[in-house]
Structure 1
Amino acid sequence: MRHDAQGTPTPHQEGSRGPLHRIRSLPLLGNVPGDVAASLVVFLVAVPLSLGIAVASGAPLIAGIVAAVVGGIVGAVAGGSAVQVSGPAAGLTIIVADLVTSYGWRVTCLITLLAGMVQIGLGACRIARAALAVSPAVVHGMLAGVGVTIALAQLHVLLGGAPQSSALANIAELPRRLADNHTPAVAVGVLTVAVLLAWPRLPGLRRLRRLPAALIAVTGSTAVAAAAGWDVERVDLPESPVTAWSGPALPATGDLHGVALGVVAVALVASVESLLCAIAVDRLHEGPRVDLNRELVGQGCANTASGALGGLPIAGVVVRSTTNVRAGGRTPLAAMLHGVWILVFIAVFAHAVELIPLASLAGLLVVIGLQMVNLAHLRDLRRHREAGIYAGALLAVVVFGLLEGVVIGFALSMLISLRRLTRVSVLTEERAGRWHIVVQGSLTFLGVPRVAHVLRNVPVGAHVDLDLHVDFMDHAAFESIHSWRLDHERTGGSVDIDEVHENWYEQRTRQAPPEGKTAPSGLARWWAPWGMRGGFDAAAPPSGLLLSGAREYHASTAGRMQAVMSRLAHRQRPRALFITCADSRVVPNLITASGPGDLFTLRNIGNLVPPRSGEPSDDSVGAAVEYAVAVLDVPSVVVCGHSHCGAMKALLEGTGDPDSELGQLGRWLAHGGTSLARADHARLESAPAPEAMRTLSQANVVQQLENLLTYPAVRRGVEQGRLELSGMYYDLESAEVHVLGADGAFAPVPTASEAPEAPARSGPQPTAPLPGTGGGDAAAASGRTP
C-alpha cells in the first residue's frame, strides 16, 4: 500500500493482489483508545434506534437487536470502509413493513438472506460504482419520503393509536386521533420529542451534551413513566432468544414472484444507501478510502447472516457512521465493538430494556423521520436545479409507495438529464455590420430548428463570427450549419467559425468525425493539467513540457490573442487585485472566468498579507498592494483561500524551527498566527481534520482582509467608497467557489437567477462592514467576484 507524505495510507488501483488484500490491511489496532470510546458512544445511539426501527417495520423487537449486532460485527469485518457503521436502517422500513404484512416475518427473513447473497454477487462482479449512477436527488427524495411516511405512521402510535394502511390514510385519520386520544402514552411520546429537540440546544452543560440525545430522551421518558406509574405499553423481549428464534422459511408457491421483487428491492435500496453513506462519511476523515466493491460484499455478508439469524435487513447508517467519526473512531474496530456492546447489554440488562414505553420509541421515530427530510440536501439540489426531482420522489413515495416513488424519481431525473443534454442556447449581437453569434450546449437535431432560424435571419452579405461552444454536434446539426455557411458565402457574406471546446465542425469538414465525446488534444481541454491532455508526454522534463505548451499556444491561441494583447500592450487597467495562494491547483483566471488585463495577481504561500507595521516586515506584499491600489487604482481587492492548503496545515501542526532548512518558510508562516488565534486553535484541535482545515482557511481569509486595512491607501479607498474588499474560498474537491457574506460565513456563488440585480449606476458601490471588525470598518464582505 502506498502512503502519502504524512504516512497516511492512500487508495491505489487494485492489481493482481485484488481488493481483499487492501481491506485486510486496514489497521485494527492503530487507534484503540479512540475506537473504544467511539464504540461506546455509537452503542448508546444504536440501541434505541434499532428497537424503534423494529417497531416501525412490524418485526419482532429482537430482530432490530440482531441486525444491530450482526451489522456492527460482520459488516465491519467483511466490509471495505474503515469507519462506516451498519445496522437496521430507517430507509428500509417501508419495504420491510410491506413484506412482513404480505408474506410474514419468516419469509421476510428469507428475503433478507437472499438479498444479501445478491449483494455479494454484485460486489464480486465489481459493479458497485454502477449503483452511484442513481441521481442523489432521487436517493435523498426517496429517503425524505420514507421519513415522512415513518413520521406519519409513528405519530399515531405516539398518540395512543395504531398506524393506518398508507400515508394518505394516516393524514386523513390524524385530526380524529388528535382530538380523541389523551392517554399517558401521549405524554411519554411528547416528552421524548421535546427532549430530542431541546437537548442539543441547551446552554451550558457542554460535556453532558456529548451524550446522544436519543439515549437521554428514551431514558428520561422511561424514568418519568416508571416514577409516575403510568400504564403504557412497553417493549416486550422474549425470555429466551434461542427458543424464540424464528429463522427464514420458504414462501408459498404463489408468492414467488412477489418474493423475488422483494429480494431485488431490499438488495438495491440497501446497496445504494450503504454506498452513498460510505462515500459521504469518507469526507469526514483522512484515513484509508472506502473500497466500494468490498463494502458491497461486506453488506451482503451482513444481510445474509442477519436474515439467517432472524434479523432485519442491514445497510450503512449515516447517523451511526457520522457519530463514530466525530467520537474518534478511525478503524473497523469501533464498529465491531459497538456490536459487541449491544450484545452484552441485551444479555445482561434485558429487563431494563423492557421498561421502555413503545410511545417513547414512536416519538424517537417521529423525530428521526422528520430529520430525514434534510433541508441542506434540498438547498444543494436547488442550486443544481434538481429540487424538482427531490420533491417528485418524496411525494411519489408518500402517495404511491417506495418502489413506485423510486421509479418516478428515476424517470424524472432521466427526463431532466435528457433535456439538459439536448439543450442549446443561441446568443446574437450585431455591431457595426458584424454579427456575433454564440451557440452553446449540445448541438443535436433537436436544436437545429432554433439555430437555423437565427442563422437564416442574418442579412445577406453580412460578416458573421460564429462561436461554437458545443460539447457535441451530430450530423444533422453539422449539415445545417455547413449548408448555411456555403449559401451565405455564395451571396457575398463571410463566416468565421471559432470552436472554443472540441473541434467538431472542423473535423467534420475534413471528413474525420470524432468518436463520441472524447476530447481531442490541444485547445479542447486547455484548462486541464498537461498529464490529462493528449499530445503531452507526462514523463518529459519540465522544460520539455513548457516548450510543448508554448508550441500549442502558438499553434492554437497566439493568433487569436494578438488583437487583444496589442490593445493591452501599452497600458493595464485591472479590475481587481487578486491575492491568493501559490498553490499550483488554484488558477485565478480559471475560477473567475477572467482574461488578460482583468486581474493584478499577488500569490504567496498561504495568501498572507502581513500588516503594514508588522514584524518582520514584508516589502514585497506591501509594494504589490500599494501599487495596485494607489497607482493602478483597482476598484476591488479579493483575498482567496482554498481547501487542502499546505500552509494552513503547517499552521495547525506548528511552523517548525525557524533555524532549520525551512527556516524562511517558518518565519513567513508566523504571519498566520493571528489567523490561528481567530479560528480558536484549541477548538480546531478537537475538530476533525477536514473541518479544522476548512475553518482555519476561511478564518485566514477574513484576517487578511483586516490586515489590508492597515495600509493607508487601502483604508482611504474603502472609506471614500472607491474600493471594495471581498473574500473568496475555493473548494478543490468540488471545484466550486464560495464567497464571504455579510454574516461572516462563506456560501456558494449564487446562480444567475439567485444573484441580486446589478445597480443601475456604475463604479464602486457602497460596501458592508467586514465581519469581525465592527461597524467602524467599511470593508466589504459581499464576496462579489471581479
Structure 2
Amino acid sequence: MSDLTQFLRRDLPASIVVFLIAIPLSLGIAAASGAPLLAGLVAAVVGGVVAGALGGAPLQVSGPAAGLTVIVAGTVADFGFAGTAAIVAVAGLVQIALGASRLGRAALALSPAVVHGMLAGIGLVIALSQIHVMLGGAPQSSAWQNLIDLPGQMLDHHGAAALLGVLTVAILVLWPRLVRFSLLPAALVAVVSMTALAAAMNADVERVSLPDEPLTGLIRPAWPDAPLREITVAVLTIAIVASVESLLSAVAVDRLHDGPRADLNRELVGQGVANTASGLLGGLPVTGVIVRSSTNVAAGARTRASAIMHGLWIAAFVLLFADLLETIPMAVLAAVLIVVGLRLVDLGQIRTYARHRELPTYLLTALGVVFTDLLTGVALGMICAAVLILWRLTRSEIRRVERAPGQWLVTIHGTLSFVESARLSRELGALPAGADVDIELHLDYLDHGAFETIRDWRSGHERSGGSVTVREVHDSWFHQATSGRLGDGKRTPRLVGSWSRWQDMDQQRRGAMEAGIAEFERTVAPMVRPQLADLARDGQRPQQLFITCADSRVVPNLITASGPGDLFCVRNIGNIVPPHTGGDTSVGAAVEYAVDILGVTTITVCGHSGCGAVRALMSDAARPGSALGDWLDQSGVRFSNPADEERCCTENVMQQLSNLRSYPAVRNAEVAGLLRLTGMYFDLAEARMYEVDPIVGQAHPVAIQPAA
C-alpha cells in the first residue's frame, strides 16, 4: 500500500474521529482548570501538530489532559493565566533537557501504583468540582469543600442545566453499550445532541464563550511576580507530571498496535517542544493522552499523520466555526468531565493492585491528592511504596507441616535476614525435641544473622537426638555460608548448578545420582508432571534434532532454555555424524527417525570449545585400531589450520553438516524446503552460543546474524 493510499484509507479517517472527540474534551479541561476556553483549543492544536510531528510515539495523540487539571487550576490561582503560560513554556524546556539527557525511561521508575493513584485522585477532584457545575452551581476551592457542599447542591432546585447534564452522562454511559461500532464517539454524540436540545428548549444556561477573533484573543505569557522558589516548584511539577503521563501513555499505546515502538527520549523532547510552543501561544500544558491515542489506534491510524491532521482540523474549526462552539452549554461539558474523571478510577487497576498487595500505595496516593494536594499525595504514595518494599525485603514466609509422626517439613520462602531471627527462633523452637526435620529453603537472600539462628538451632536439636536436613531450591545461600563463602558473589542457581554445588554431607553419603533423583522428584517433578503427562499421552513432536558432544559440560536443555518435548537429542564423542554409507548406523538411525517419523524442521550440529575429540583429531592422538580411533575416523574432517582450535571446532561442525546431506532423507527434505540445517558453537568460558557461517565457517554470536 502506497503512502498516499494508506493516508487516505487509514490516517485521514482516524484523524477526523480523534478531532471529534478532542473538541469537547479540550473545552471541558480548560473550563475545569479555570483557564480561558481558547487555551484548551490552542493546546489541542499544538499537541496534535508539534508533538505529533516531533514525538517518538507515532500513534500517540497529545493535547490538554485531565491528569493536569488540578495542577493547572492551582497554578492559575497562584500566578494568573499569563504567568501559568510562562511556567508551561519553561516546563517544556525542562522536558527537552530531560529527553536530550536520555532520561526518558527514568521517569518510568516511579511506581505505577503511585501514578495511577495520582490519576485516580485527580479524577475524583475533577468529578467533585464539575458535578456542582452540572447541577447549575459553582465549584468550591477544594475537593473537601466540594464534598461537604454536595448534599446541599443535590437537594437544591435544579433547572435546565441539571437536566442537560444528567442526560449527557446517560448518553456517555449508554452509547458505547448500545452502539458496538461507530465512528461517532460518545462525547461528540452527547455534546451535539444536548446542544441541540438546549437550543430547542431555548434554555437559559451558561454557554461556551470564545473571543470574537480567536487569533487576537490569545493571551501572551508574562513572567509571574512571585518568589523564584514557588515558580521553580510549579515548573518542575508540570514538567514531571506531564512527562510521566506522556511516557506511560506511550508505553500503553505500544501494547495496542504492532507498528514501530516508541522512542521515549524522542517523545520527551517532542512533548517539551510542544509545551514550550503551547505556553508561548497562551495554551494549556500538553501531554500524551491515552483516551485520544487509543481512539486513534482503534480508528485505524498507521502513522503520525493522523495526530498531525487532527490538530489541523481543530485549528480550522476554531477559525471558521467558533460560533457553533459558543452554543455548547457549560453543564454539558461539565458532565463530560465528570465521566472522564470517574473513568480515571479504574476498577481493573484496583483489583490488580490488590492482587499484587500494592493497594495501600494506590489508595493513599489517591486520597492524599483528594484531601491535601497533588504533591503531598504523590509524596505519601512514594513513602508508602518504599515502606512496603522494605517490609517485603525483610519478611519471609515460614511454614511447619508434620508429614508423619516425628517427621516435620519446614519451608521458608523469601528474604531471611536478622530482622526475622526472633520469629525464626520461635517457629523452629516449636518443633518437638528428637523429631526428624527437613528444612527447605526458597530464599532470595540469607544474611549472617539468620544463618546463625538456623545453625545454632540445628546444633541444639541434633544434640537432643533429632536430625536436621537442610535443602535449598534455586540458590545455595545456606551451604555457601556453611563453607564460609556467604557473600562472595559466586552464587549458583540451585536448579542450574551441578550436584557438587548444592549437596550437603548427608546427600554426598547417599551418592550424587541418588540425591539428585530425590531432589528432582521432590521439587521439580511436581512442576513438570502435567507437561510430561500430556507428552506421555499425545506422544513427542519435537521441532528440532540437536546433535552435540557427549561432554559433561554441555547441557543441551540448559544452553537452549528448552524443556520436555522440545529437543530430540543425539550425543556422542565429537558430535560426529558418520556418512550414510560405510559408517556407524546408530546416528543414521536417529537422523532418519527424526526426519521421516518425527518430521523435525531443523537439525542443529553443535560443537563446543575445549572439545577433547577435536583435540585428538588435531594431534592424531587417537590410537589406530581402537574404538575411539575408529569412531573419530568417521568424522571425515580435514583441518585448514590445525593450530587454531576454535577454527578446528567450527570446521568439524561444517563437515558434520556435509555428512548429514549424504542421507537421502535429509537431502530430500532440505530440497523440498521442509528442513533446515544449522551449525552452532558453544563457548564454555563465555557461556555463549555462536552460529557457524555455513560458507566461511566463522562463528557469529546468535544475536548478531551474519548476512545471507
Shared fold (TM-score, shorter chain, > 0.5): yes
For residues 108 and 5 of structure 2, the distance between their equivalents in structure 1, rounded to whole angstroms, comes to: 31
2:263 is the alignment partner of 1:291:
yes
Q: Give the aligned residue type for 1:387.
A: L
2:336 is the alignment partner of 1:364:
yes
For residues 313 and 273 of structure 1, the distance between their equivalents in structure 2, rounded to whole angstroms, comes to: 12
Could you say which residue in structure 1 is the equivalent of 2:475? 502
Q: Is the 1:80–1:294 contact (alpha carbons within 8 Å) kept by the matching residues of 2?
A: yes
Could you say which residue in structure 2 is the equivalent of 1:309? 281
Could you say which residue in structure 2 is the equivalent of 1:258? 230
For residues 138 and 293 of structure 2, the distance between their equivalents in structure 1, rounded to whole angstroms, comes to: 32
For residues 583 and 292 of structure 1, the distance between their equivalents in structure 2, rounded to whole angstroms, comes to: 40
Aligned pair partner of 1:402 in 368, 374, 399: 374
Give how far 1:161 is off.
1.4
Give how far 1:50 is off.
0.5
Could you say which residue in structure 2 is the equivalent of 1:596? none
Could you say which residue in structure 2 is the equivalent of 1:126? 102
Could you say which residue in structure 2 is the equivalent of 1:51? 27
2:426 is the alignment partner of 1:453:
yes
1:444-593 to structure 2, matched below 5 A, reads 444-489=417-462, 493-514=466-487, 520-523=491-494, 526=496, 558-563=513-518, 578=534
2:173 is the alignment partner of 1:202:
no
Could you say which residue in structure 2 is the equivalent of 1:530? none
Aligned pair partner of 2:92 in 78, 94, 116: 116
Could you say which residue in structure 2 is the equivalent of 1:152? 128
Give how far 1:522 is off.
4.5
Change (3 A) 1:492 1:36: same
Could you say which residue in structure 1 is the equivalent of 2:610? none
Give how far 1:271 is off.
1.3
Radius of gyration: which is bigger? Answer: 2
Change (3 A) 1:218 1:168: same
For residues 431 and 448 of structure 2, the distance between their equivalents in structure 1, rounded to whole angstroms, comes to: 23
For residues 446 and 517 of structure 2, the distance between their equivalents in structure 1, rounded to whole angstroms, comes to: 29
2:368 is the alignment partner of 1:412:
no
2:333 is the alignment partner of 1:378:
no
Change (3 A) 1:554 1:163: same
Give how far 1:550 is off.
11
For residues 278 and 218 of structure 1, the distance between their equivalents in structure 2, rounded to whole angstroms, comes to: 28
Residue deviations 1:190-228, cap 9 Å, x none? 22222212211226xx66x33101111111111111222
Give how far 1:582 is off.
7.0
Could you say which residue in structure 1 is the equivalent of 2:686? none
2:75 is the alignment partner of 1:99:
yes
For residues 298 and 673 of structure 2, the distance between their equivalents in structure 1, rounded to whole angstroms, comes to: 34
For residues 465 and 224 of structure 1, the distance between their equivalents in structure 2, rounded to whole angstroms, comes to: 77
2:52 is the alignment partner of 1:76:
yes
Give how far 1:269 is off.
1.2
Could you say which residue in structure 2 is the equivalent of 1:270? 242
Aligned pair partner of 1:320 in 284, 288, 292: 292
Could you say which residue in structure 2 is the equivalent of 1:680? none
For residues 336 and 521 of structure 2, the distance between their equivalents in structure 1, rounded to whole angstroms, comes to: 69
For residues 542 and 137 of structure 2, the distance between their equivalents in structure 1, rounded to whole angstroms, comes to: 62
2:107 is the alignment partner of 1:135:
no
1:698-713 to structure 2, matched below 5 A, reads none
Change (3 A) 1:383 1:662: farther
Q: Give the aligned residue type for 2:175.
A: W
Give how far 1:237 is off.
1.1
Aligned pair partner of 1:231 in 168, 183, 204: 204
Secondary structure at 1:287 match in 2: coil
Residue deviations 1:578-597, cap 9 Å, x none? 4899799xxxxxxxxxxxxx
Give how far 1:565 is off.
7.7
Secondary structure at 1:328 match in 2: coil
Could you say which residue in structure 1 is the equivalent of 2:217? 244
Q: Is the 1:140–1:390 contact (alpha carbons within 8 Å) kept by the matching residues of 2?
A: yes
For residues 34 and 253 of structure 2, the distance between their equivalents in structure 1, rounded to whole angstroms, comes to: 30
Could you say which residue in structure 1 is the equivalent of 2:157? 181
Could you say which residue in structure 1 is the equivalent of 2:649? none
Aligned pair partner of 1:429 in 401, 406, 422: 401
Q: Is the 2:408–2:435 contact (alpha carbons within 8 Å) kept by the matching residues of 1?
A: yes
Give how far 1:560 is off.
3.1
Any stretches of 5+ residues in structure 2 without a counterpart?
A: 523-527, 544-563, 568-596, 599-670, 676-708
Q: Is the 1:422–1:447 contact (alpha carbons within 8 Å) kept by the matching residues of 2?
A: yes
Q: Is the 2:475–2:493 contact (alpha carbons within 8 Å) kept by the matching residues of 1?
A: no
For residues 266 and 120 of structure 1, the distance between their equivalents in structure 2, rounded to whole angstroms, comes to: 13
Give how far 1:394 is off.
1.9
Aligned residue-pair number: 543
For residues 29 and 233 of structure 1, the distance between their equivalents in structure 2, rounded to whole angstroms, comes to: 44
Residue deviations 1:241-267, cap 9 Å, x none? 3332222211224x3222211112111
Change (3 A) 1:470 1:215: same
Q: Is the 2:11–2:305 contact (alpha carbons within 8 Å) kept by the matching residues of 1?
A: yes
For residues 456 and 488 of structure 1, the distance between their equivalents in structure 2, rounded to whole angstroms, comes to: 9
Aligned pair partner of 1:39 in 5, 11, 15: 15
Give how far 1:342 is off.
0.9
Aligned pair partner of 1:67 in 26, 43, 54: 43
Secondary structure at 1:495 match in 2: strand
Aligned pair partner of 1:339 in 311, 330, 346: 311
For residues 672 and 317 of structure 2, the distance between their equivalents in structure 1, rounded to whole angstroms, comes to: 56
2:194 is the alignment partner of 1:218:
no
Secondary structure at 2:423 match in 1: helix
Give how far 1:566 is off.
9.1
For residues 116 and 159 of structure 2, the distance between their equivalents in structure 1, rounded to whole angstroms, comes to: 35
Q: Is the 2:90–2:276 contact (alpha carbons within 8 Å) kept by the matching residues of 1?
A: yes
Give how far 1:377 is off.
1.2
Secondary structure at 1:235 match in 2: coil
Q: Is the 2:476–2:493 contact (alpha carbons within 8 Å) kept by the matching residues of 1?
A: no
Q: Is the 2:499–2:516 contact (alpha carbons within 8 Å) kept by the matching residues of 1?
A: no
Q: Is the 1:80–1:292 contact (alpha carbons within 8 Å) kept by the matching residues of 2?
A: yes
Q: Is the 1:502–1:519 contact (alpha carbons within 8 Å) kept by the matching residues of 2?
A: no
Change (3 A) 1:184 1:435: closer
For residues 126 and 358 of structure 1, the distance between their equivalents in structure 2, rounded to whole angstroms, comes to: 42
* RMSD (Å), alpha carbons: 3.5
Change (3 A) 1:28 1:97: farther
Give how far 1:469 is off.
0.8
Give how far 1:500 is off.
0.7
Any stretches of 5+ residues in structure 1 without a counterpart?
A: 1-26, 527-534, 536-548, 568-572, 585-600, 605-618, 621-659, 665-786
Q: Is the 1:43–1:338 contact (alpha carbons within 8 Å) kept by the matching residues of 2?
A: yes
For residues 467 and 483 of structure 1, the distance between their equivalents in structure 2, rounded to whole angstroms, comes to: 17
Secondary structure at 2:468 match in 1: strand
Aligned pair partner of 1:168 in 120, 144, 166: 144
Give how far 1:470 is off.
0.8
Q: Give the aligned residue type for 1:446.
A: V
Change (3 A) 1:475 1:522: closer
